[in-house]
Amino acid sequence: MIFNIQRFSTHDGDGIRTLIFYKGCPLRCQWCSNPESHSFGYSIMYDQTLCKRFGDCTLAEPAAFELNDGKGVDIRRREVNQPLNLKDVCASKALVLTGDDLSVDDLMTEIEKDVPFYKDDGGVTLSGGEPLSQDQDLILLLKRLKERKISTSMETSLHVSWARIERCIGMVGTFLVDLKHTDKEKFRHYILGDAGLVMRNLEKLAYFGAKVVVRIPVIPGFNHSLPEIQQMVDKVSTISGIEEIHFLPYHTFGVEKYKMLGMEYEFGTDKQVHESELELYVQYAQSRGFRTKIGG
């Protein structure tokens, strides 16, 4: 299931790209800007500021929606029986069902519309959520893209079993690997994951000759300090075959989505990171022999 197709992107890979965002992620980064990607199923997003209280949602799923005394509706998401009952039900667009169960054929049809714009270096970037958490359809799509000679990049945290990664080697042109931290305690506390699993997978991926670009999201209060960034860069420098590190400054573009999903934004800062704050990190990575870039 996917939650967005973004066309004509000049981020997240070379050239002009089509970004396909899959639903489902094994991690829970507290600062995640795509919280609608966490679940593998449909998500219900509700913006009370747009709600005109027409009440069609209460007719479509009476157990889950109730007009309240205020300016909108109360939602009990667990009581939704058939999420698809809610698709396009809201005339004021306050309620949006996120998620599209597109087949591989459907995705290829969407991609084909953009192919004339790819020129020499553009293509498709698979993102999420975590694309490597997807099952067989991901492999079928990668095969179709390879047959069609469309360049493919994949944004991934590598926080999956090695078997899930191995099946994609040879079909993904560039793995854009989010390396969030190498400190096990911080990784567990802020992300609910295992830093060791990511590093082991990163080493294997490089060992098997895949093209890897490491991307470090720079997050205040988590890894935004020279010693921590140095530690991460040093770890990456022990892996032969990785030549490029990108630094991605923290932003808060996704914060409003949490409210719309009925979720808490638990990461306690709204201070964005400016690109100029990354200069020392860039210099350090370059001093260790890496090509660098700021941004995706």
- Contacting ligand SF4 (CB under 6 A), which of 13, 123, 128, 131? 128
Q: How many residues does the chain have?
A: 296
Contact 43, 87 (CB under 8 A): no
**Alpha-carbon distance 103 to 91, whole Å?**
27
Site for ligand SF4 contains 34 (CB under 6 A): yes
Closer CB to ligand SF4, 54 or 258, in the complex:
258
**Residue written as token pair 């830093």:** 195
Burial of 54 (0-12, 13-18, 19+ CB in 10 A): middle
Contact 235, 210 (CB under 8 A): no
Q: How near is the Cβ of 140 to ligand SF4 at its closest, in Å?
A: 22
Closer CB to ligand SF4, 173 or 217, in the complex:
217
- Contacting ligand SF4 (CB under 6 A), which of 20, 29, 89, 94? 29
Q: How near is the Cβ of 139 to ligand SF4 at its closest, in Å?
A: 20
Closer CB to ligand SF4, 32 or 261, in the complex:
32
Instruction: Single out the residue of 154, 148, 137, 65 nearest to residue 111, CA to CA.
Output: 148
State the CB neighbour count (10 A cutoff) for residue 197.
17
CA 136-137-142 angle, 5° bins: 100
Kindly state the number of chain residues that form the binding site for ligand SF4, as judged by CB under 6 A.
11
Q: How near is the Cβ of 52 to ligand SF4 at its closest, in Å?
A: 32
Q: Alpha helices, DSSP H only, in 69-151?
A: 104-118, 136-147
- Contacting ligand SF4 (CB under 6 A), which of 7, 11, 28, 143? 28
Give the pair of three-digit tokens for residue 189: 């506390």
Closer CB to ligand SF4, 107 or 160, in the complex:
160
Strands 2-9 and 17-22: antiparallel
Site for ligand SF4 contains 32 (CB under 6 A): yes
Site for ligand SF4 contains 25 (CB under 6 A): yes
Contacts 24+ apart (CB under 8 A), 261-266: 261/35, 261/36, 261/43, 261/44, 261/45, 262/44, 262/46, 262/75, 262/77, 263/35, 266/30
The region of 31-39, 142-150, 239-247, 288-296 touching ligand SF4 under the rule CB under 6 A is 31-39
Site for ligand SF4 contains 11 (CB under 6 A): no
Site string for ligand SF4, 150-189 (x = CB under 6 A): -------x--------------------------------
**Residues numbered 46-75 forming contacts with ligand SF4, rule: CB under 6 A:** none
Closer CB to ligand SF4, 20 or 25, in the complex:
25
Q: How near is the Cβ of 182 to ligand SF4 at its closest, in Å?
A: 16
Binding site for ligand SF4 (CB under 6 A): 25, 27-29, 32, 34, 37, 128-130, 157
